[in-house]
Structure 1
Amino acid sequence: MMFLVHANFAAETIEGDLGKEDYSYYFVLRSYVPVLQALGTVVELRDPHTEADVWHSQCAARGEYCVLLAFSPPHRIPMGLRCPVVPVFAWEYDSIPDESWRHDRETDWSRILALHGRAITHSEFAVSSVRGSIRADFPIVSIPAPVWDRYTCAAARDPLQEPGAARKLVVQGAVLDSRVDDLRADDAELLRACAPREQELTLDGVVYTAIFCPMDGRKNWEDLVTAFCWAFRDKADCTLVLKLVHHDREEAIAEVLLAMRRLPRCLARILVVHAFLDDEQYGQLVRGSDFIVNSSLGEGQCLPLMEFMSAGVPAIAPGHTAMLDYLDDTCGFVVRAFPEWCNWPQDLREMLRTRRHRPEWESLMSAYVASRELRLLDPPAYWRMSQQARGRQRRHCSQDVARAKLLHFFRAHARSLQDADHQPQLPGASGAVVGEHFPARSGLVGTFLRDKLRRLLFSLRESALLRGANLRADPRASGLSDMVRSGWCNAAAGELFGGFAVGVDDTVLDVGCGDGLAVTFCAQQGAHVDFCDIDPDKIRALGRHLDERGLTRHAGHVVRGDRLPFADASMSRVIATEVLEHVDDPRALLMELVRVGKPGAKYLISVPDAACETFQMPFASAAYFAPPNHVRIIEPAELEALVVDCGLVVESRGQWGFYWFMWMSFYWAAQGQAAGDVPTLDQIKPPYHPLLESWSETWTRFLELPGAQAMHRSFNELMPKSRVIVARRA
């Protein structure tokens, strides 16, 4: 097994790269290497664009598994390689970029990750963020950097050490000490005083350490410093070590000094250290610290916290993002935090698309006070917390844990990685091909693939395939089976669609009920169902159908116009599947649906996929895109914006219906304009063309094959018939 690894920073230059954007990926890569070496051969690449495919070809020739682990944000991951690539990245916001800006497709992380088809991240929070933006079962796993083994022994602390005892730290760098230097003095004077040199520092009292880049606003370090100064303004037995991580010494120190001038004077000591610490020096800092402190707005994993806690240093940190995986009040002091809207950090438009988590300043200050009391007044309790921190990190980020997760991950995805002839590349100005072996959202289907399918359909009109086939199947039965496999009508879970459960206490409204499949399912769950349509014959037929099955809690309504005959806040479940594309004013209809929903009501909304609709335009009859049929094509982003603007909260997204996309494509190929006035799926009746029955039989047989389910999901992502949103009224 061959593991190629790459990060955008190297050992020879990392000292000068500290604090630069994404520099920490180098350290994550280094922590992974020993674990990967236990599973196979590891080769670190300088230039994956020129080296990866060479290694991949050599491995393929001898039948060896080969994969590139790219330690980088998704928009900087190599594309267009034959070698399979697994992105390894950190993330701390509650959604990933799922749109592009400035005509740059690489800004859309959801596109890139969907193309690669799998990923590794470092927290369950990030897993949830990715799946919420792509799909609920997207193959991504949390494997934190395995740092425990290195720090639990090398930086182990003496449990018999007296509280406040002096400890030594040797550094080769710049140091400012509030006991010696006036941190409010002129910058130039202070910078001359702290010229880099080797010096031995004495750490005493209760020592708090924070490690951060002062130029990174996400670290929110000013709160960390101000809360310390206020908590210990009259306590001389506390020390705060600010270990700065930045390649430019003067810029980093000047940024900290600017904040210091705004602080009240306090007796507590502040040490500002700008130096590259080797392993021994870093171990001294860990052993010399009583608490590791963090006040960030979000963390992808936070290596300093994990490293210090692995050595038994309790933490003071907010309970959000990655810290949720390994921090509680048994191993540290959890600072309260609250969400606030913000932009993705790489979004130059600064659009408020996601959320970060701001720590409460008062909670942080209280944590300082409580931690000092614990360290000085109750040493046994402090050492119990220390041992809990070490044990928690062993379960979180030891090499054994990472090895087991990696082994499971690569075993689960070995077939798809080995079968991939090439990696995808994003369509550029030339309309490049989308990766054919990787899951993709419908918006990724490039001009090459669409043209290929269109040529196939045009040729089918003249093909012998249209003159008959031996395979026969009922397309409706095959479609129903496909629908269930795609997540619909899950009777065991009581869900009409994933995340949309229906029960006996629900009042359900289905607008544009069609043939009544959703209505029947909801009635079978015991709910009361009101269903609406403009066709009185459909309403009567559906009512009889329900009565014949002993389902009596229902009422049918013929509705014309925007106003629904229901009271405000009267429905707990609202269904509008394949409706909005038929109406002149989708917003007005959706606002009416919001009006009748109770607080907390769930909404199930779907529309035909825009790419699917666009694809059919050259073949479909004129009636298909004319009133009262599909009068508009709704893009996925447009649908979600509409849902949110009307006051709903999106809970999940989905797509399905590749079977029906192909079935309708074959229908147009066979019938063309002869389809006449029966252009929509629910109006197409038997007898079916032999080609359609043949396709249905082929699809049914395909679904019976081992491993077909994973490919089925990929087909649904490649070109779905419908886009689905599950939302909630706030």
Structure 2
Amino acid sequence: MNFILYSDVNDHSISQSLGRPEYSYYFVLKAYRPVLESLGQVHVVSSPAEVDPLYRQLVARGEDCLFLSFAPPQKTPTELACPMVCVVAWEFDSIPDEQWDDDPRHDWTRMLARHGRVITLSSHTARAIRRAMGDDFPVLVLPTPLWENFAAIRERQADAPVNPGMTLSIKGCIFDTRTLALSADDLVPKPLTPEEEAALEALRPPPLTLKRRFVIARHFLRQWALDLGREQGVPRVKFLHHWYWEGIRDLLSDKAHGWLARQLPAIAGPQAVAEPAPAPLNLPDTSQVVETRVDGVVYVTVFNPKDGRKNWHQMITAFCWAFRETPDATLVLKITQNDLASYHGELMTLLAQLSPFACRVVVMHGYLDDAQYARLYEAASFYVNASRCEGLCLPLMEFMASGKPAIAPDHTAMEDYIDDSVAFVVKSSEELTIWPQDSRIIYRTLRHRPDWGSLKDAYENSYRLAKSQPQAYRHLSVAALERMRAYCAFAPVQQRLADFLGLVPPIAVAAPVTEDASC
């Protein structure tokens, strides 16, 4: 069997694609590839246009082919000669079953009906598809096989819940609330000093004299007469507009101005005001490797601040409130967003609003190589997720496969592997939302609203467990390992895929996957 694989994000574009809605499909493809290679030959294409020519070559040699598209159904081709299966990551309780913008591809039921079957990453997604397509529609639930990738980390990590001290490094920058000197008072505008007021007053233009008004009128009327605007395709009346606003508007009452604006809108109408240029941000250099040391009870989370699902404001506020008087509690935020400026101000404002607090928040922005990521796994006491919905959540699975218990809800994809035997479960309730690609912004589906009080309680209960019940922590850690072994080990994933495709699997040999992602 030949497997032809395609993802819109590939090895060459991944560094520029972090944060895009479909970038996680790249990591799913990477994780599936060893399983597919154990069942046949794999060909990765950079464009759907390459699929059918390759398919015809292979069929001419008498070989079977299957195209796996790692993309949402609306972005997956349907007119190919090659048999195909779409791999879908989806986190809502219903799939799009209607079209909009005169584009039938938005209706997933049409697209999936043409494909004839589908692979999903979770039971939650499979139920949503079956509700729309019927219970007999072929759906395979296939989590990414990552258990074997963390064997080395499991072998060398200590099972102590309280970190005695570990150095974390990253190519980028680190923000540490211990050194930021944050204060909510800094967010309040301070009144100007007499000297500043005097300097501001000195910048104000002097009142217009009759002579100055004459100079302004002469200038703009001359420009109007010369008709310089015509050369650039600009109406001549713009010069009269400038003359009105700069030379005589202040002489008229608001009532008189309003009448003129209605009668002569091109001359006395609203004046365009240029948007002020944003003040330059004083952001740190991100080209160097920097490091910090963490200890105590360490909570880690990996997320993109521009992903609205991640609910990171609640994750931070609940942590800082739960541990406002607890200096040995640390929350490490590993950011998966290339653009530091896109979230820096929002994050720092939130931390300043919460200050003062005794606990510690460490923000890591930049690239972690495999060795640096391994130290992050080892440093953690718990992994934290407070999402509104998840298609799979690879980082949560990765930390659990490293033996780290979790704080997480048990909704959407996480219901497959999260319960109170492996995690401190955060309560949640359903809320209406939109399909993210729906340009109509119509509420058609559901996601979940995590309970802030439950999240705060989970922080406090997990901290008490780590500090006073190390044996209970170890039992939770072992349970997390066993859950991941059963859920995402190579052999059972290989067997499920082989059964779905009607293939006979050879002896499973897992290949490591080194990429890490937020999915």
2:176 equivalent in structure 1: 177
Alignment partner of 2:365: what SS?
strand
The structure 1 residue matched to 2:392, chosen from 277, 295, 301, is 301
- The answer to whether the 8 A contact 1:171-1:199 is kept is yes
Q: 1:253: Cα distance to partner?
A: 2.3
Judged with a 3 Å threshold, the aligned counterparts in structure 2 of structure 1 residues 96 and 304 are, in CA distance, closer, same or farther, namely same
Relative contact order (C-alpha < 8 Å, sep 6+): which is higher? 2
- State the distance in 1 between where 2:348 and 2:109 align: 40
1:405 equivalent in structure 2: 496
1:285 equivalent in structure 2: 376
| Correspondence list, 1:108-507, <5 A | 108-154=107-153, 156=155, 158-161=157-160, 163-183=162-182, 191-193=282-284, 195-411=286-502
- State the distance in 2 between where 1:151 and 1:111 align: 40
1:62 equivalent in structure 2: 61
- State the distance in 1 between where 2:330 and 2:175 align: 13
Judged with a 3 Å threshold, the aligned counterparts in structure 2 of structure 1 residues 399 and 74 are, in CA distance, closer, same or farther, namely same
- The answer to whether the 8 A contact 1:175-1:194 is kept is no
- State the distance in 1 between where 2:155 and 2:92 align: 33
- The answer to whether the 8 A contact 1:118-1:139 is kept is yes
1:20-77 per-position Cα deviation (integer Å, ceiling 9, x unaligned): 221111111111111111111111111122x111221122122211011111111111
> Is 1:23 aligned to 2:9, yes or no?
no
2:199 equivalent in structure 1: none
- State the distance in 2 between where 1:237 and 1:82 align: 60
Q: 1:284: Cα distance to partner?
A: 1.1
Q: Which amino acid aligns with 1:44?
A: V
Q: CA RMSD in A?
A: 1.9
- State the distance in 2 between where 1:130 and 1:162 align: 40
1:665-698 per-position Cα deviation (integer Å, ceiling 9, x unaligned): xxxxxxxxxxxxxxxxxxxxxxxxxxxxxxxxxx
- State the distance in 1 between where 2:149 and 2:344 align: 30
Alignment partner of 2:343: what SS?
helix
Judged with a 3 Å threshold, the aligned counterparts in structure 2 of structure 1 residues 191 and 370 are, in CA distance, closer, same or farther, namely farther
1:47 equivalent in structure 2: 47
Alignment partner of 1:262: what SS?
helix
- The answer to whether the 8 A contact 2:39-2:503 is kept is no
Judged with a 3 Å threshold, the aligned counterparts in structure 2 of structure 1 residues 325 and 20 are, in CA distance, closer, same or farther, namely same
Q: 1:12: Cα distance to partner?
A: 2.7
- The answer to whether the 8 A contact 2:162-2:298 is kept is no
Judged with a 3 Å threshold, the aligned counterparts in structure 2 of structure 1 residues 225 and 367 are, in CA distance, closer, same or farther, namely same
- The answer to whether the 8 A contact 1:123-1:301 is kept is yes
1:575-619 per-position Cα deviation (integer Å, ceiling 9, x unaligned): xxxxxxxxxxxxxxxxxxxxxxxxxxxxxxxxxxxxxxxxxxxxx
2:207 equivalent in structure 1: none
- The answer to whether the 8 A contact 1:152-1:312 is kept is no
Judged with a 3 Å threshold, the aligned counterparts in structure 2 of structure 1 residues 262 and 137 are, in CA distance, closer, same or farther, namely farther
- State the distance in 1 between where 2:161 and 2:128 align: 44
Q: 1:292: Cα distance to partner?
A: 0.7
- The answer to whether the 8 A contact 1:210-1:293 is kept is yes
1:8 equivalent in structure 2: 8
- State the distance in 1 between where 2:323 and 2:279 align: 28
Alignment partner of 2:62: what SS?
coil
Alignment partner of 2:283: what SS?
helix
Q: Which amino acid aligns with 2:288?
A: R
- State the distance in 2 between where 1:234 and 1:193 align: 29
2:101 equivalent in structure 1: 102
Judged with a 3 Å threshold, the aligned counterparts in structure 2 of structure 1 residues 302 and 145 are, in CA distance, closer, same or farther, namely same
Alignment partner of 1:15: what SS?
helix
Q: 1:294: Cα distance to partner?
A: 0.6
- Residue segments in structure 1 that go unaligned for 5+ positions in a row: 414-730
- State the distance in 1 between where 2:15 and 2:378 align: 22
Judged with a 3 Å threshold, the aligned counterparts in structure 2 of structure 1 residues 162 and 403 are, in CA distance, closer, same or farther, namely closer
Judged with a 3 Å threshold, the aligned counterparts in structure 2 of structure 1 residues 14 and 212 are, in CA distance, closer, same or farther, namely same
- The answer to whether the 8 A contact 1:214-1:255 is kept is no
- State the distance in 1 between where 2:339 and 2:172 align: 12
2:245 equivalent in structure 1: none
Alignment partner of 2:320: what SS?
helix
Q: Which amino acid aligns with 1:73?
A: P
- The answer to whether the 8 A contact 1:175-1:196 is kept is no
1:156-208 per-position Cα deviation (integer Å, ceiling 9, x unaligned): 55235472310121111121100111345689898434644211221111111
Alignment partner of 2:164: what SS?
coil
- State the distance in 2 between where 1:304 and 1:291 align: 12
2:192 equivalent in structure 1: none
- State the distance in 2 between where 1:87 and 1:178 align: 44
Judged with a 3 Å threshold, the aligned counterparts in structure 2 of structure 1 residues 360 and 40 are, in CA distance, closer, same or farther, namely same
Alignment partner of 2:482: what SS?
helix
Q: 1:155: Cα distance to partner?
A: 5.6
Judged with a 3 Å threshold, the aligned counterparts in structure 2 of structure 1 residues 390 and 157 are, in CA distance, closer, same or farther, namely farther
TM-score w.r.t. length of structure 2:
0.76
Q: 1:13: Cα distance to partner?
A: 2.8
| Correspondence list, 1:510-589, <5 A | none
Alignment partner of 2:390: what SS?
coil
- State the distance in 2 between where 1:162 and 1:338 align: 30
Alignment partner of 2:361: what SS?
strand
- The answer to whether the 8 A contact 1:191-1:250 is kept is no
Q: Which amino acid aligns with 2:28?
A: V
Q: Which amino acid aligns with 1:360?
A: D
Q: 1:135: Cα distance to partner?
A: 1.1
- Residue segments in structure 2 that go unaligned for 5+ positions in a row: 188-277, 505-519
- State the distance in 2 between where 1:180 and 1:308 align: 28
1:463-490 per-position Cα deviation (integer Å, ceiling 9, x unaligned): xxxxxxxxxxxxxxxxxxxxxxxxxxxx
Q: Which amino acid aligns with 1:64?
A: E
TM-score w.r.t. length of structure 1:
0.55
> Is 1:38 aligned to 2:38, yes or no?
yes
- The answer to whether the 8 A contact 2:161-2:467 is kept is no
2:256 equivalent in structure 1: none
- State the distance in 1 between where 2:401 and 2:95 align: 29
- State the distance in 2 between where 1:357 and 1:228 align: 20
Alignment partner of 2:480: what SS?
helix
Alignment partner of 1:345: what SS?
coil
Q: Which amino acid aligns with 1:55?
A: L
Q: 1:129: Cα distance to partner?
A: 0.4
Q: Which amino acid aligns with 2:9?
A: F
- State the distance in 1 between where 2:407 and 2:80 align: 43
1:233-271 per-position Cα deviation (integer Å, ceiling 9, x unaligned): 100001101111112122132332233233242111001
1:87 equivalent in structure 2: 86
- State the distance in 2 between where 1:204 and 1:45 align: 45
- State the distance in 1 between where 2:43 and 2:326 align: 52
- The answer to whether the 8 A contact 1:244-1:252 is kept is no
- The answer to whether the 8 A contact 1:20-1:246 is kept is no
Judged with a 3 Å threshold, the aligned counterparts in structure 2 of structure 1 residues 177 and 330 are, in CA distance, closer, same or farther, namely same
